[in-house]
Structure 1
Amino acid sequence: MVGLTHKLMFTMLCVATAVMAAEPPHDRLLDQRFAELKQAPDESRAREIEQAIWKLWMKSGSAEIDKLMQQALEARRWGDYDKALGLLDRMIEMDPQYAEAWNQRATIHFLRDEYEPALADVARTLQLEPRHFGAMAGRGVIRLHQGKTALAIQSIKAAMDYHPFLKERTLVPAQFLAPSAEPR
């Protein structure tokens, strides 16, 4: 019986270690930043944490994809949306699990007034990173542009569950914000 107990304990330890190993340090750090963001005492601290989260989201795990992302962001800054879109398409081909490539492509579609493709890319972003407050807020802004106010408010409020000091919260009339969702 003792041998069986030790084998069971060893098996449980191996399973626990494998589960812990399956979650990369990047993911643990992201979880930590989200917990900090939810508890941010003020807007200034929330912005610092938000920037740390964006830096983590921008890291794909591939130097080549990260370089392409920087090129895509530069192309977007210069208004070269075709080039940015091509680079983002390439990144998605290389790593379809990289959520930020989908989110950035949604942004390009939005900037080109291509709302349905933008919404499709937002949906994929949120499948890969369900806490992506930027994608949720972006969906809210798209819905406002489409005249779908109730859906816009819903999206922005969902984003505020993760980021209580979200900039886009100003787009939601105060009467629609639950007291618990308002920043402290």
Structure 2
Amino acid sequence: MKHLPFCMAIMFGAPAFADPCPAPPDHSTELSALIEAAQNAPDQSAAREISNDMWALWADAPDDRAQALLDEAMARREVGDYAAAEKAADALVAYCPDYAEGYNQRAFVNFLRGEYAAALPDLESALERAPRHIAAMTGQALTLVALDRKAEAALVLRAALDLNPWLSERALLKVIEKEEETL
């Protein structure tokens, strides 16, 4: 009995007595400054650079192990290896359940597969952990559109545009609103 935890860890493929994931980095001050900069950006090009800086914050994983899993998930997604990307994102979420980007990346994989209903809970989980994750917000809006939940999509997209009025998805809001008018 005394070796039971070790045996169970071997059986389930997890290292015995593995260190837990540290808390995600707190970039709230930097993110607030970037959101303000995006809101005051003179043009789309400047706003795009600011968005890239936001991405750097969201993609800053809690430790090297989490960063490796995130990088693997993103690299596999980029080449269309969705099964491997999902496996890496699953491992990241299991290891760092408080880190929003693991959920966001897994949602992105499901979105690209056209599995919108599977993407939505992960987007909600990402936004519970990082309410100003603008990329997750736009991902949620796009997913809701794909699920034909346009009124909800418009609400989410408006909230994202309040944070960054230069998002490329802003054109989608006009399309959604026009469709809602015809209903």
Does the alignment reach a TM-score above 0.5? yes
Mapped partners of 1:107, 1:138: distance in 2:
7
1:105-160 deviation line (CA, Å, top 9, x unaligned): 11111112221221101111111111111111111111221222222222211110
1:57-81 deviation line (CA, Å, top 9, x unaligned): 1001211111221111111111111
Query: Which is richer in helix?
Result: 1
Gaps of 5+ in 1: 1-23, 178-184
Q: Which moved more, 1:81-90 or 1:60-69?
A: 60-69
One-letter identity of the residue aligned with 1:135: A
1:1-48 deviation line (CA, Å, top 9, x unaligned): xxxxxxxxxxxxxxxxxxxxxxx6633222221221222121111111
Aligned residue in 1 for 2:41: 40
SS at match of 2:169: helix
Task: Calculate the TM-score normalised by the size of structure 2.
Answer: 0.78
Mapped partners of 1:146, 1:157: distance in 2:
18
Q: Does 1:134 align with 2:140?
A: no
SS at match of 1:142: helix
- Percent identity, aligned pairs only, is 36
* 1:88-103 superposed matches below 5 A: 88-103=89-104
Return the offset for 1:174.
7.3
Larger radius of gyration between Structure 1 and Structure 2: 1
One-letter identity of the residue aligned with 1:172: L
SS at match of 1:167: coil
Task: Calculate the TM-score normalised by the size of structure 1.
Answer: 0.78
Q: 1:25 to 1:116 in 2, by over 3 A?
A: closer
Gaps of 5+ in 2: 1-24, 179-183
Aligned residue in 1 for 2:78: 77
Return the offset for 1:165.
0.4
One-letter identity of the residue aligned with 2:78: R
Q: CA RMSD in A?
A: 2.3
Mapped partners of 2:102, 2:146: distance in 1:
23
Q: 1:25 to 1:74 in 2, by over 3 A?
A: closer
Mapped partners of 1:143, 1:91: distance in 2:
25
